[in-house]
């Protein structure tokens, strides 16, 4: 990898190929699934003060279905000798997440529904409703998982510079993340439209960051256990393969009741029939200590998300 520290982090009008105006465009996951048309108003005067000349200040941006994070939409010649380029940046969703062509949704169910294997209704991002049935006699068995599959992004940072597992020339960040997953790598550095993959483990990448101008270090999420339920062909549309979709994975979260109903007690007793009864003890032999009330729910992890704002960029939608 060449020394990225020599690269300017912001384009200058006098540099070669620097007359392109590159603007980030924040896009919700729903629009990446369904596609959308966005009408964007750009502040020409503010960009002019930065040394750029735009031939128009209003753009109709077509977001294709299944567009990856980092996808570029180019308006050729709209910045004088250069182009106006909108870079799609996926916004985080409270209950949905994306990994390449696959989608993940977090679904809360009651303890009764978990034990009875009740059908689940999933409302998809595209508006359709999916009915998921348990197998006969099956108990929904949620794993200790949270919807915590966001990559960490560190602007102006690198780790293990020059120790590249491989290098790929691309602007598709989602494909880079999927390539890491397939090869078991923990991250990559993005610099000048190329990804420099790192074979070191996740902890090493986080602990050995070095400030490097113009670079962006991406580090994979923590590894999690097996997923709960897969719904085939209901994931993300594939932009490069129309008609094809990834898979949808459902992560279950059980809500514990404050009071157990008679129906739930019956289910518990029926499921526990084969167990040996507990030893009988006289009431006067028992102690009744005061136990503090404790939450049974796993603590939620805290994601560090970077918000990127573009000067002079306004969405009219």
Work out the end-to-end distance of the chain between its first and last CA atoms, rounded to an integer number of angstroms: 41
Break the chain into its structural domains and give their ranges.
12-91, 96-147+225-255, 152-219
Domain boundaries 12-91, CATH class: mainly beta
pLDDT of residue 197: 93
pLDDT of residue 97: 87
pLDDT of residue 74: 93
Domain boundaries 152-219, CATH class: alpha beta
How far is 256 from 296, CA to CA, in rounded Å? 8
Helix (H/G/I), strand (E/B), else coil: 259? coil
12-91 and 96-147+225-255 share one CATH topology? Answer: yes
Q: Mean pLDDT by 10-residue block, N- to C-terminus, for the chain (317 residues)?
A: 38 52 93 95 86 89 92 90 90 87 84 76 89 62 51 91 89 85 85 89 90 91 62 86 84 77 73 54 49 38 34 49
Phi-psi region of 183 (alpha: psi -120 to 50; beta: other; left: phi over 0): alpha
78 phi/psi in degrees, rounded to 5: -90, 5
One CATH from 3.40.50.300, 3.40.50.460, 1.10.3210.10, 2.60.260.20 for 96-147+225-255: 2.60.260.20
How far is 296 from 134, CA to CA, in rounded Å? 25
């Amino acid at each position: 990898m060449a020394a990225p520290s020599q690269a300017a982090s912001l384009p200058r009008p006098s540099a070669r190929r620097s007359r392109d105006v590159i603007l980030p465009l924040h896009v919700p996951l729903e629009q990446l699934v369904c596609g959308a048309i966005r009408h964007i108003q750009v502040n020409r005067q503010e960009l002019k003060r930065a040394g750029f000349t735009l031939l128009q200040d209003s753009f109709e941006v077509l977001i294709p279905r299944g567009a990856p994070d980092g996808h570029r939409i180019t308006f050729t010649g709209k910045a004088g000798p250069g182009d106006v380029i909108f870079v799609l940046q996926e916004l985080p969703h409270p209950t949905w997440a994306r990994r390449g062509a696959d989608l993940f949704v977090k679904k809360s169910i009651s303890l009764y529904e978990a034990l009875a294997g009740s059908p689940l209704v999933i409302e998809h991002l595209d508006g359709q409703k999916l009915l998921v049935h348990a197998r006969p006699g099956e108990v929904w068995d949620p794993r200790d998982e949270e919807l915590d599959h966001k990559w960490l992004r560190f602007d102006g940072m690198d780790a293990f510079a020059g120790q590249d597992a491989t290098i790929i020339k691309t602007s598709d960040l989602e494909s880079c993340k999927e390539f890491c997953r397939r090869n078991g790598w923990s991250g990559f550095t993005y610099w000048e439209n190329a990804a420099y993959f790192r074979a070191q483990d996740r902890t090493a990448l986080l602990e050995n960051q070095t400030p490097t101008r113009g670079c962006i270090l991406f580090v994979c999420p923590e590894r999690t256990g097996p997923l709960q339920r897969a719904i085939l062909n209901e994931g993300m549309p594939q932009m490069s393969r129309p008609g094809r979709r990834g898979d949808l994975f459902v992560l279950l979260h059980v809500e514990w009741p404050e009071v157990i109903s008679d129906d739930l007690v019956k289910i518990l007793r029926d499921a526990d029939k084969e167990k040996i009864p507990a030893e009988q003890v006289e009431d006067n032999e028992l102690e009744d200590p005061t136990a503090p009330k404790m939450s049974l729910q796993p603590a939620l992890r805290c994601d560090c998300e970077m918000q990127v704002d573009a000067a002079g960029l306004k969405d009219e939608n």
